[in-house]
Amino acid sequence: KAKAAADGAEVPTNLGMFRGLNSVDDNVGKLLRLLDELKLADDTVFVFSSDNGYYLGEHNLGDKRSAYEEAMRIPMLVRYPRLAAAGRTDDRLVLNVDPAPTFLELAGQPVPAAMHGRSWQPLLAGKAEAPWREAFFYCYFYERGFGTPTTTAVRTADAKLIKYPGHEEWTEVFDLKADPYETRNLAADPASAELRKKLEAEYERQAAAIAFKVPDFADRTPAPGEESPKKKAGKKGDK
């Protein structure tokens, strides 16, 4: 109690999160203004991002880890006046493994062939014709203490296949263009069989490219007594 009093009044979790986000927004603004005042903005590559998204009740979930959009998508804002025009949005698929090769290329340094990710330089320069990835592979390995099972997925620009190793019956297919909030699982929909076939082929191609396998140390299902978020979320096709 003494510690709680010293720390100040408790606030609801979500309110605390929103206050934290507001503080981040204020301080990012201060940093950008300082770069302008010091006349360093033109020579500074400023990147604002996050390590993951977060559920606030979507899909009946909290936290992160699984492969739905709210957890998978992250902010990715870049300011570099020498190369990138202000106010432009690029909808192509970028990943959090891309900053390292980007910074190396912008600094005029070689990018190791073994490094994951691709440089954004052509995207920042607005080169619409530049070849770019059309899909990516996602995986999360189950950890004791969390209820999320081992999860894998492939996402394209407008669709997603989610697979749970050892649980074929949990497979999910979403048409992100028609259903951006992933409320309708099309895995068993006969009318979506061709979409699933294409996604399965892309999944196999992506998995083979990285020699993917579920490591022996990663359990595939929740530990006894832990509920899977699949059970908590219910059947998406019922919505």
Q: Where are the domains of the chain?
A: 1-40, 134-223
Above 70 in pLDDT, residue 86?
yes
153-189 tens-digit pLDDT: 999 999 999 999 888 999 999 999 999 999 999 999 9
Beta-carbon contacts of 84 under 8 Å, excluding residues fewer than 6 positions away, are: 78, 124, 125, 126
Query: What is the C-alpha to C-alpha distance for residues 232 and 227, in angstroms, rounded to an integer?
Result: 7
Q: How many CB atoms are located within 10 Å of the residue 147 CB?
A: 20
As a whole number of angstroms, the longest Cα–Cα distance in the chain is 62
Condensed to tens digits (0 to 9), the pLDDT of residues 91-109 reads 999 998 999 999 999 999 9
Residue 163 · residue 150 · CB < 8 Å: no
CATH of domain 134-223: 3.30.1120.10
Number of Cβ within a 10 Å radius of residue 28: 13
Cβ contact 71:55 at 8 Å = yes
Q: Dihedral sign, CA of 218, 221, 226, 227?
A: positive
